[in-house]
């Protein structure tokens, strides 16, 4: 009896429910037969796109990176998540599916058609393409060669944000020293030099990634992820050891306890700080009273969401929320990178169900971020570093379990191949799921279980990345700039442009906030409404943002999108709607409440200005 109770408790605590709600019936979808349903749906989407806000300045930027989350993984994850809600699944929308602007990112790097996470991370965080396996270095450096690294380091968006006085944070379900988060701060010719024991004696001049994070990047305020063993020296007991993990393969040989070094630096500088290593400690952190947070929740990567011990590790949504609540205390704003790192690892194993569970977890994280922020001052970008060779095959019926066998006409007919055996809807181009002839018969196999290894066409111990373009989903200020097909290194330039940092810092008058077109130079310190309207005119287009706005007492940013002008100031306490004459009156009466309050003003301009305003 005690054994049975223990098993029940394990299942409840460790394994979240991965079973779908009761399957829907065809009657639930009868409305889809009506053409008007599709007409109305398309019209709603069109109107939503037309209403999409796309201008203004991003005080905050949050980048969600699904490692290996190619379009097919997004599609499979969407269907899987929808089926867990009791839907057919195909009609379901992930949080980023609702974003108004979508583009494509070309992921190749300088020396490979198909990139790895280090080179791609350097592209979407540092703005340059580089060689496979290198972090924060341009292509003049050589992989694994420390002497070639000197002088080839590049600045990344984390540095741009810090220079602008913003707060920065990194969250990952992988090791916090793994390729994607490391690309934000590390400069190394070899991504695998995560701890000092990984570096060959001949290359010891280079510092390992964990050392660089703690000793050379002290102003990163939030660090949440795995990889705890890389920060602890040999002989120091882990606070929450995993018996299956060989700590001697990762612990430091230089005697440095980087966790204690992190604590000491924060104490010496008078910062409130917390180091946590489990769910309980994490939950007890008060974001309103914490300047710096270091959370290392596993000796290695954090657990897969489908296998996560809920008492030991927080979900990615909770980590993202805590990070936002800490970083948003900075009045200058923040940059936050959140990586769903284990999508990639699951795909490498041909474990599609695990990969889709990771997508669903990141979906919740993005939704939480949307709820904690505003489109008026926060740009949110969701993308991937690369794809995988995951395919969605066959002609299965609507609502067929996405990780199940391909079935048509409900449960009546299993699709079969030329060898008269069934196959799964999810297949991989290569990987450990390959089996020798004769191909395995899946007729009585439950392929929906968490650790099931999907079929692969080519035998490989680890499935490879895919080289096709990946999607970029964006919402918030300047998000429309992601529309189209772009090189992957374009991404950080848009984020910098939207937030006036790095190459587009304020003094250069070149970013979203200070863009002044040749025919639309406007001085808002003119209190006369007629003169103001005449200067704006009806032929203006694109962004107009002004460095001096004395009329409103406080600095604001202005964007003109005919037939309206929107005036932004963050944080926006309230929303006001006023006309041009009211705006002009602010210059004459600074005692007016509307002139003193932080606000967002919407000025509706007619296509043809009335005579009184000319």
**Tokens representing 558?**
């202005």
Q: Determine if residue 455 is labeled as part of a ligand binding site.
A: no
Residue 339 labeled ligand binder: yes
- Binding site annotation covers 386? yes
574: annotated binding-site residue? no
Cα distances (Å, whole numbers) of residue 163 to 70, 160, 367, 504, 594: 33, 5, 29, 12, 33
Instruction: Write down the number of H helices and E strands in the chain.
Output: 16, 21
Is position 19 annotated in a ligand binding site? Answer: no
Give the C-alpha separation, 179 to 333, whole Å: 26
Q: Which of 72, 105, 117, 167 is catalytic?
A: 117
Q: How far, in Å, CA of 363 to CA of 448, rounded?
A: 21
Q: What span, in angstroms and rounded, lies between the C-alpha atoms of 442 and 448?
A: 12
Structure tokens at 405: 């066998």
Residue 67 annotated as lining a ligand binding site: yes
DSSP E strand boundaries for 432-562 = 456-459, 465-466, 470-475, 484-487, 557-561
Q: Per the annotation, does 301 bind a ligand?
A: no
CB proximity list for 218: less than 8 A, separation 6 or greater: 265
Query: Residue 203: how many CB atoms within 10 A of its CB?
Result: 17
Tell which residue, 479, 497, 498, has the closest CA to residue 570. 498
Residue pair 497/476 in contact (Cβ under 8 Å)? The answer is no
> Can 120 be counted among the known catalytic residues?
no
Is 344 annotated as belonging to a binding site?
Answer: yes
Contacts of 46 (CB under 8 A, 6+ apart): none
Tokens of 392: 């969605």
Question: Tokens standing for 344?
Answer: 């990639």
Q: What is the DSSP letter of 544?
A: B
Feature table: binding site for Zn(2+): 67, 348, 385-386, 465
Which residues are known to be catalytic?
A: 117
Feature table: binding site for Mg(2+): 67, 178, 180, 339, 344
């Amino acid at each position: 009896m005690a054994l049975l109770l223990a098993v029940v408790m394990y299942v409840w605590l460790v394994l979240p429910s991965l079973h779908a709600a009761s399957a829907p019936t065809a009657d639930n979808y009868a409305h889809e037969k009506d053409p008007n349903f599709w007409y109305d749906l398309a019209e709603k989407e069109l109107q939503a796109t037309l209403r999409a806000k796309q201008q203004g300045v991003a005080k905050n930027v949050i980048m969600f990176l699904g490692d290996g989350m190619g379009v097919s993984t997004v599609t499979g994850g969407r269907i899987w998540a929808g089926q867990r809600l009791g839907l057919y699944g195909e009609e379901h929308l992930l949080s980023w599916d609702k974003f108004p602007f979508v583009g494509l990112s070309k992921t190749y790097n300088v020396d490979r058609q198909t990139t790895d996470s280090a080179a791609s991370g350097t592209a979407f965080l540092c703005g340059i393409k580089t060689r496979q396996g290198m972090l924060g270095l341009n292509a003049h450096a050589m992989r694994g060669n420390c002497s070639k690294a000197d002088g080839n380091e590049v600045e990344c968006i984390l540095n741009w944000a810090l220079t602008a006085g913003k707060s920065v944070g990194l969250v990952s379900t992988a090791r916090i020293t793994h390729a994607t988060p490391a690309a934000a701060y590390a400069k190394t010719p070899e991504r695998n030099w995560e701890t000092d024991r990984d570096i060959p004696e001949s290359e010891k001049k280079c510092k390992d990634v964990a050392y660089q994070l703690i000793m050379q990047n002290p102003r990163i305020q939030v660090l949440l992820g795995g990889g705890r063993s890389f920060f602890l020296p040999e002989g120091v007991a882990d606070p929450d050891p995993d018996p299956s993990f060989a700590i001697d393969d990762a612990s430091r040989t230089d005697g440095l306890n980087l966790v204690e070094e992190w604590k000491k630096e924060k104490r010496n500088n008078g910062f409130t700080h917390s180091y946590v290593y489990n769910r309980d400690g994490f939950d007890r952190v008060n974001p309103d009273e914490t300047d710096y947070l270091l959370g290392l929740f596993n000796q290695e990567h954090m657990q897969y969401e489908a296998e996560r011990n809920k008492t030991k590790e927080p979900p990615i949504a909770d980590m993202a929320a805590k990070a936002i609540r800490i970083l948003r205390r900075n009045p200058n704003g923040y940059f936050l990178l959140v990586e769903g790192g284990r999508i990639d690892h699951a795909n490498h194993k041909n474990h599609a169900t695990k990969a889709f569970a990771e997508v669903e977890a990141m979906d919740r994280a993005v939704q939480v971020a949307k709820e904690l922020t505003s489109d008026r001052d926060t740009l949110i970008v969701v993308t991937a570093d690369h794809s995988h060779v995951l395919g969605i095959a066959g002609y299965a019926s609507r609502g067929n379990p996405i990780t199940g066998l391909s079935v048509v006409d409900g449960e009546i007919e299993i699709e079969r191949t030329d060898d008269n055996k069934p196959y799964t809807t999810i297949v991989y181009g290569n990987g450990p799921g390959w089996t020798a002839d004769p191909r395995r018969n899946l007729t009585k196999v439950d392929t929906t279980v968490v650790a099931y290894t999907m079929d692969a066409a080519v035998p490989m111990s680890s499935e490879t990345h895919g080289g096709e373009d990946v999607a970029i989903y964006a919402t918030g200020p300047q998000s429309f700039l992601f529309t189209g097909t772009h090189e992957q290194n374009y991404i950080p330039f848009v984020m910098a442009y939207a937030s006036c940092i790095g190459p587009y810092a304020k003094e250069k008058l070149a970013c979203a906030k200070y863009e002044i077109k040749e025919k639309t130079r406007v001085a808002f310190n003119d209190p006369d409404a007629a003169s103001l309207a005449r200067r704006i005119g009806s032929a203006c287009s694109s962004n107009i943002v002004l460095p001096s706005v004395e009329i409103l007492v406080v600095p604001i940013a202005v964007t003109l999108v005919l037939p309206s002008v929107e005036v932004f100031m963050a944080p926006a306490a309230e929303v006001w709607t006023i006309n041009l004459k009211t705006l002009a009156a602010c210059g004459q009466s600074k005692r007016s409440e509307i002139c003193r309050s932080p606000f967002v003003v919407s000025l509706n301009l007619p296509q043809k200005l009335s005579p009184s305003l000319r």
